């Protein structure tokens, strides 16, 4: 075989691959010179806040409004199932509110449904359909007596949904799952959930590994490598390449304070843990930060991102911005360089306004505006536009 003929075969193969990729679905990345050099922290994606959330029915919403009108307005939003968020909206970060339920049944009979039954009113759908809430294990919901509707009633069910979609879309940009461990009393009915202690906190990592193979996760140990601390690895070595992380999932702990301290206890760089944690920038575990207000903390976010850290912020809260079509917070969040910009409105709700949070041109993941990758200027979409 001549060299000229071999070159012709190679060239024909490249043309075939490029032509095929041109019609690829949203999960396939854009192939262009320099994309392989992009690091995980050099991108920006859109996420959703309380991603499992389904707004209370009208009857339950009336009960919430009787107690607190502004709270009723704040919880009036509904998210699509996870697979639709990923495929139709390009979401690459979700958030789960997780409650401990080691015995089972703690959240199976919400008080709001008992009130409706006592008044002879129409009941909303039973959250314990199939007995899923009566079984022991971590549960996913907002407030357990009044704002309890969820597309993923258990933590494992939520993770299984993510895993199923990820398996079908193996080249996707990594998905961050933000976990908030909740154990505060319920109001206006003072019920007391199970507190997160060492045992219940250990169950979080345990349930993650019951769903995901360790090799499919991006954990603190993977980023730290041989460095003495996670912070040192970030500042000296940086995050892994984006292409090395495709098809994987990473977790971050929303909680600071006592719960965060328990999770990091005796593990200053989160050794052996599966979730990153928001800590002081000088702490050994510093790598990822939760900074919810991109207006007040705009310069702080930009500074952290410029140093190589990752940040999650919020483009809106409590439906306030969507009702007013106020885009200031959204635009500051996007320009801050925060890698994960979370919203309750990845698509508009017409009865509120045209407000939504999405990357320009239907991009799924774009080069970070602060931690800029060394790619060609025309590369604006690092995964593939939504169809």
Q: Which secondary-structure segment (H or E) carries 7?
A: helix 3-22
Residue 38 token pair = 């992009």
* Pairing mode, strands 288-290 and 275-277: unpaired
Residue 373 token pair = 């990758």
Which residue from 46, 22, 43 is spatially nearest to 32, judged by alpha carbons? 22
Instruction: Please state, in angstroms and rounded to a whole number, the distance separating the CA atoms of residues 265 and 305.
Output: 26
Instruction: Please state, in angstroms and rounded to a whole number, the distance separating the CA atoms of residues 359 and 366.
Output: 8
Instruction: Please state, in angstroms and rounded to a whole number, the distance separating the CA atoms of residues 357 and 220.
Output: 29
> pLDDT tens string for the chain (387 positions)?
443 433 333 333 333 322 233 333 343 444 444 566 899 999 999 999 999 999 999 999 999 999 889 999 999 999 999 999 999 999 999 999 999 999 999 999 999 999 999 999 988 899 998 999 999 999 999 999 999 999 999 999 999 999 999 999 999 999 999 999 999 887 667 788 999 999 999 999 999 999 999 999 999 999 999 999 999 999 999 999 999 999 999 999 999 999 999 999 999 999 999 999 999 999 999 999 999 999 999 999 999 999 999 999 999 999 999 999 999 999 999 999 999 999 999 999 999 999 999 999 899 999 999 998 876 545 678 887 665
Residue 8 token pair = 């012709």
Q: Exposed/middle/buried for 211, CB within 10 Å: 0-12, 13-18, 19+?
A: middle
Helix 257-264 / helix 198-211 crossing angle, nearest 10 deg: 70
pTM of the model: 0.90
């Amino acid at each position: 075989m001549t060299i000229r003929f071999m070159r012709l075969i190679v060239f024909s193969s490249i043309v075939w691959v490029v032509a095929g990729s041109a019609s690829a679905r949203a999960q396939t990345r854009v192939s262009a010179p320099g994309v392989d050099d992009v690091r995980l922290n050099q991108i920006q994606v859109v996420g959703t806040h309380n991603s499992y959330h389904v707004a209370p029915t009208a009857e339950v919403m009336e009960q919430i409004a009787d107690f607190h009108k502004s709270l009723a307005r704040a919880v009036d939003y509904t998210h699509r199932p996870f697979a639709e968020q990923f495929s139709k909206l390009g979401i690459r970060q979700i958030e789960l509110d997780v409650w401990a339920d080691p015995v089972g049944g703690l959240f199976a009979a919400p008080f709001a449904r008992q009130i409706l039954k006592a008044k002879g009113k129409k009941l909303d759908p039973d959250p314990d359909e199939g007995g899923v809430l009566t079984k022991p294990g971590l549960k996913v919901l907002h407030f357990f007596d009044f704002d309890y509707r969820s597309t993923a009633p258990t933590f494992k069910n939520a993770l299984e949904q993510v895993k199923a979609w990820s398996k079908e879309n193996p080249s996707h940009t990594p998905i961050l799952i933000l976990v908030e461990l909740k154990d505060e009393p319920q109001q206006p009915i003072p019920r007391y959930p199970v507190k997160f202690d060492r045992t219940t906190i250990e169950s979080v990592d345990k349930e993650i590994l019951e769903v995901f193979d360790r090799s499919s996760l991006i954990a603190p140990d993977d980023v730290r490598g041989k460095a003495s601390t996670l912070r040192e690895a970030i500042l000296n070595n940086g995050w892994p390449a984006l292409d090395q992380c495709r098809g994987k999932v990473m977790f971050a702990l929303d909680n600071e304070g006592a719960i965060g301290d328990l999770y990091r206890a005796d593990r200053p760089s989160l050794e052996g843990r599966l979730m990153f944690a928001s800590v002081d920038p000088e702490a050994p575990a510093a790598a990822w930060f939760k900074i919810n207000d991109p207006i007040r903390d705009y310069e702080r976010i930009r500074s952290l991102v410029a140093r190589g850290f990752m940040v999650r912020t919020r483009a809106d809260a409590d439906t306030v911005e969507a009702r007013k079509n106020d885009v200031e917070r959204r635009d500051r969040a996007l320009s801050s360089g925060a890698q994960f910009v979370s919203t309750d409105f990845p698509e508009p709700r017409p009865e509120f306004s045209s407000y939504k949070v999405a990357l320009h041109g239907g991009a799924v993941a774009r080069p970070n505006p602060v931690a800029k990758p060394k790619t060609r200027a025309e590369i604006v979409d690092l995964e593939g536009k939504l169809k």
